[in-house]
């Protein structure tokens, strides 16, 4: 015994079966369109995720900096000519004024996750007759390593920052011919000196950073830079990385300290991501539009071909509303079926792409994660597009005069 089906579904499915060739072609067209949308959307999400991982694994979301020193022009004395050129003064290593209070203010903000002080400055690193100009970054390892996962980048030794420890890049170690356990002498521009032990070697993935950047304990860097108890910056992470610029502006308004977000510091890359998002949205829109026109054109042809059947149904007492629903159901089914097939094709294309596109060392170009929400949205939008595309043909079918339709 067959299960009960509403009249509209029975007629809609019969029309689709009788026009198998048209149905197959339009489902194939919808599938290709949805596959393109899914493939490009997932690819863009993967690109953005890879960009964020590369940028934000080496820096905080927001950085608070002390105000820059500025020269003020004194008013001209009587009889002297004004308008002398004033040069900007040399910027010294300075601490953020009352930074513990600022840190407490930031930690009270719900959008902020981690706040940690950092002392950074230049120094001369020497071993025997060899010397290099380096950047010393003094950090509190407990909190800073939660922002920058430096332990994951250690190639030799360990990410230990005791009172006399120093972490250096693999390229700097190669240039100086040093390894884990060797002692290095550091001299600050002020003349302060200290000797530290190499506790570990790291690789940041950038030769310049590996040659110049070193990490030391916070208190050691404070003493070396002549900033006892000071902090040249506060490193901040927030819950929403894309909202970092708005949080930075609120921080500046609340604390009065200049706050730079990763978005501002990487404005060019961020603009390229926005441009890619805009281009992807445009492509998805036009693909969806072509899918809608394809469904509409097939249903228009179906209305013309089935005008006699529609007239007979109307003469038998079938209401205009039911005829309207018959073709709306056809449009929704074409969109839904094509979307399901398109999602499968898009997922297969993504898996194939990850196998073909590889880095020189054989690793994936970047990690791609399939987002179930994207597939659900794609299916829902395709079904809705089919429904909307079917409205005009369905309205035309519902308005057919039964006598005229039967006579042909």
Q: What is the DSSP string of 150-173?
A: GGGGEEEE-----TTEEEEEHHHH
Q: Among residues 145, 141, 125, 135, which one has the least CA distance to residue 57?
A: 145
Q: Evaluate whether 120 touches 137 at the Cβ level (below 8 Å).
A: yes
User: For residue 82, what pLDDT is reported?
Assistant: 53
Q: How many CB atoms lie within 10 A of CB 287?
A: 17
User: For residue 405, what pLDDT is reported?
Assistant: 63
State the residue for tokens 């530290």: 196
Burial class (CB in 10 A: 0-12, 13-18, 19+), 388: middle
User: For residue 116, what pLDDT is reported?
Assistant: 93
Write the DSSP assignment of 378-406 as a string of letters: HHHHHHHHHHHHTHHHHHHHHT--HHHHH
| Cα(307)–Cα(376) distance, integer angstroms | 35
pLDDT in tens, the chain (408 residues): 345 468 788 888 887 888 788 888 888 888 888 888 888 888 888 777 777 777 677 778 899 988 765 555 555 556 555 555 555 544 456 788 889 999 999 999 999 999 999 999 899 998 887 888 999 999 998 999 988 888 988 999 998 898 899 999 999 999 888 989 999 999 988 888 999 999 999 988 788 888 999 999 999 999 998 888 889 999 999 998 888 889 999 999 988 888 988 888 777 777 777 787 788 788 878 888 887 888 788 777 777 777 777 777 777 777 878 888 888 888 888 888 888 998 899 889 888 888 887 766 666 666 677 788 888 888 888 888 888 888 887 787 777 777 666 665
| Cα(113)–Cα(240) distance, integer angstroms | 10
Sign (positive or negative) of CA dihedral 112, 117, 121, 125: negative
User: For residue 79, what pLDDT is reported?
Assistant: 58
Q: pTM for the complete prediction?
A: 0.66
Q: C-alpha angle 292/387/14, rounded to 5°?
A: 105
**Strand runs labelled E in 30-153:** 62-65, 112-127, 130-139
Q: Among residues 351, 176, 379, which one has the least CA distance to residue 291?
A: 379
């Amino acid at each position: 015994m067959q299960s009960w089906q509403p009249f509209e579904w029975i007629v809609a499915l019969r029309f689709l079966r009788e026009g198998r060739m048209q149905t197959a072609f339009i489902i194939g067209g919808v599938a290709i369109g949805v596959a393109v949308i899914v493939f490009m959307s997932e690819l863009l999400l993967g690109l953005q995720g890879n960009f964020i991982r590369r940028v934000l694994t080496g820096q905080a979301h927001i950085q608070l900096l002390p105000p820059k020193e500025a020269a003020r022009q004194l008013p001209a004395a009587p009889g002297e000519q004004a308008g002398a050129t004033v040069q900007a003064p040399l910027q010294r290593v300075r601490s953020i004024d009352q930074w513990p209070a600022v840190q407490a203010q930031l930690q009270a903000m719900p959008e902020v996750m981690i706040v940690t002080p950092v002392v950074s400055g230049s120094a001369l690193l020497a071993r025997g007759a060899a010397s290099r100009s380096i950047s010393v970054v003094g950090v509190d390892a407990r909190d800073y390593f939660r922002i920058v996962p430096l332990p994951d980048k250690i190639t030799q030794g360990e990410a230990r920052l005791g009172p006399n420890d120093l972490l250096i890049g693999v390229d700097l170690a190669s240039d100086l011919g040093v390894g884990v356990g060797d002692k290095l002498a550091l001299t600050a521009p002020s003349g302060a000196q200290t000797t530290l032990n190499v506790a570990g070697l790291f690789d940041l993935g950038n030769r310049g950073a590996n040659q110049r950047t070193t990490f030391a304990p916070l208190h050691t860097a404070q003493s070396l830079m002549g900033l006892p108890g000071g902090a040249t910056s506060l490193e901040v992470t927030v819950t929403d990385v894309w909202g970092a610029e708005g949080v930075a502006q609120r921080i500046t308004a609340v604390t009065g300290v200049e706050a730079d977000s990763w978005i501002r510091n990487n404005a060019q890359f961020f603009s390229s991501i926005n441009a890619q998002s805009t281009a992807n949205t445009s492509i998805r829109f036009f693909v969806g539009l072509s899918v809608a026109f394809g469904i509409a054109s097939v249903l228009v042809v179906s209305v013309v071909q089935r005008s006699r059947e529609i007239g007979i149904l109307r003469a038998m007492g079938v209401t205009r509303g039911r005829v309207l629903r018959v073709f709306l159901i056809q449009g929704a089914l074409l969109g839904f079926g094509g979307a399901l097939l398109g999602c499968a094709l898009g997922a297969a294309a993504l898996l194939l792409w990850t196998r073909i596109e590889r880095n020189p060392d054989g690793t994936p170009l970047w990690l791609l994660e399939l987002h179930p929400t994207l597939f659900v949205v794609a299916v829902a939008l395709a079904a809705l597009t089919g429904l909307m595309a079917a409205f005009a043909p369905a309205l035309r079918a519902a308005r057919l005069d039964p006598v005229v339709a039967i006579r042909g």
